[in-house]
Amino acid sequence: MPTILRAARANLLLTPTGTALAVIASILVVRWLGPETYADYATLLALLSWLLLLAESGCNVGLGRFLSEAEAVDARGSLYWKLQFRRWGLALILTLLLVWLGPHWAKASGLPSERWSSTSFALIGLLAAVMLHGQLASSAMLTSFRHGRLLLMGQSMTIVRALMLGLLAGIIREPLALVSALLALAVIEAVVLHYTATAAFRKERTRLPSGMANAAQAHGLVALFDKLTTALSGGPFLLLVLAGIHGRVELAILAVATDLLQKALSVIGLPISNLVLPMLNASRGDDARYRHQIARLGGLVTTLFAVAVGGIATAIPLGLPLLLGPSYSATVPVAMIWLLPLFFESGVRMIWGVVLLTLGQYRWLMVFNLIYGAISLMIIFFMRDMASLTTLLLSLGILRIFMSLILLGRSARLKMLPPASRPVGIILAAGVACVFALGVQALLATGYPMLQLSIGVGVYAVVMLTFLRWLPLIPQPSYEALCQIAGKYRNLLVHIIPQSVKESRSA
């Protein structure tokens, strides 16, 4: 338990810092490149995200699941290297296909040829391969709960990336230059992560038991398929599919809104998501402990996401125009439509998607994801030529929420949805606080957007703190987890959410 707590604290302290700096760098890039150029940069990153997804090939999750079993036979190094070689092979095959087919797709989509040559696609493919190498090393460290060291390295590189992207965007303003800088930094990061991760098992090269590598990859492919179907309704896929149909400015608006929301999700969700799979894997042999972990993690994620969604929804109408400038004013409706479905589905999959995976519900997950992916593709290809961007996003958002409810229903049938994991009260409280704060903002039309924004966010914070202080909104297991993670700041947490509230919950 102390190791897990140290990992949780490292996640909560270090991850938001680096991601916040990445958000600042993204805003600088958006403003300095302008909508037309930023659309090309965002499309390059969309290609990168899909290469990372496809070439991941289930190795990250598979390594996390089977690394302890490989340790029992002194073969962690063998498993790690076998999965790395498989991943590099697939990444290189996908890169060659991209170099061959990419220019034809770019020409058909009306993308500028000077930015979309074979060299551009080769650069993206190489960047994906290097990043994937670092990801597998990161998975090995996460499985061992070496979060502090991993996050210290990761956030240090995030700071360097943010500074370099911000500087280059202001001086060169060329997407390929930014991608080249990302490649240089990715090589450094992958080398450092690799040597740090393998230090503990570099000499463990015993021959793997027959079928272990295949079993690890098969286990991970189920989780990968889960991510793949979610990505079919995500911002990067929409950018690639809608290129040539919608204007460059409209695509830039979509890219900015979805990217900033995804980064906000990372700030809030990544510290917990890094812990979910290791914690559930570690407790799956003890049914009572396993259910307790679901209650703790589910309630914690629901609480954090509910408070975050309310706060972000309060800030979006005035905050995005202030951050991005008048050229991106249309991001407000896109972001408001996409906010709730993104966070709701991410929270459900973060906990109960992993629960079903660790319980071996492979066939059900495969069928679920096949249906989900097919419906997503039908909506996109049916509506992309005849509906506005906001209508398309609204349809996909409704689908995301509906399919997430089905996932929760399956978990409930397996008795893996304890009441403490679904605190509805905190969701209602966040909604009420958000509506009240937006109403105050609307009444105070002072002509000073920054003042209105500050007052609105302040009102939301005060209302939420009042609710948390006087109402039993946080479930007991999640409250205890927060107190444990808070460590020496526990007294501050108890002061904000009094002990009497906690005790009333357990009564």
Q: Report mean pLDDT in 10-residue bins for the chain, 507 residues.
A: 52 60 80 86 91 84 74 77 86 92 87 84 93 85 63 70 77 84 90 81 73 77 78 87 84 91 81 69 74 86 92 94 85 94 92 85 88 92 85 94 95 89 90 95 81 93 91 83 71 73 43
Q: What integer pLDDT is reported at residue 476 of this predicted model?
A: 83
| Radius of gyration of the chain from its Cα atoms, rounded to whole angstroms | 23
Domain ranges of the chain: 1-201
H-type alpha helices, 57-146: 59-72, 76-108, 118-143
What's the rounded Cα separation, in Å, for the pair 244 and 43? 12
> Which among 275, 11, 6, 243 is positioned nearest to 112, based on CA atoms?
243
> Any idea which residue has 């034809």 for tokens?
104
> Any idea which residue has 């997430």 for tokens?
404
Q: Tokens for 346? A: 């991410």
What's the rounded Cα separation, in Å, for the pair 458 and 443? 15
Phi-psi region of 74 (alpha: psi -120 to 50; beta: other; left: phi over 0): left
Q: Tokens for 453? A: 């924004």
The set of residues, in sequence order, having a beta carbon less than 8 Å from that of 26 and lying 6+ positions away, is 259, 260, 263
**Phi–psi pair at 243, nearest 5 degrees:** -60, 130
Rounded to two decimals, the pTM is 0.80
What's the rounded Cα separation, in Å, for the pair 63 and 143? 8
What's the rounded Cα separation, in Å, for the pair 246 and 504? 54
What's the rounded Cα separation, in Å, for the pair 21 and 26? 9
Kindly tell me the burial class for residue 400, based on how many C-beta atoms sit within 10 Å of its own C-beta (0-12, 13-18, 19 or more). buried
Decide if 238 contacts 254 (C-beta within 8 A): yes
Stretch (H or E) spanning 409: helix 389-413
Taken in order 147, 150, 153, 156, the sign of the CA dihedral is negative
The CB density around residue 383, as the number of other CB atoms within 10 Å, is 16
Q: What integer pLDDT is reported at residue 502 of this predicted model?
A: 44
Strand partners, 243: 246
SS percent in the chain: helix, strand, coil, step 5: 85, 0, 15
What's the rounded Cα separation, in Å, for the pair 109 and 240? 9
Stretch (H or E) spanning 496: helix 490-496
> Which among 267, 285, 266, 270 is positioned nearest to 147, based on CA atoms?
270
What's the rounded Cα separation, in Å, for the pair 230 and 233? 6
What's the rounded Cα separation, in Å, for the pair 228 and 234? 10
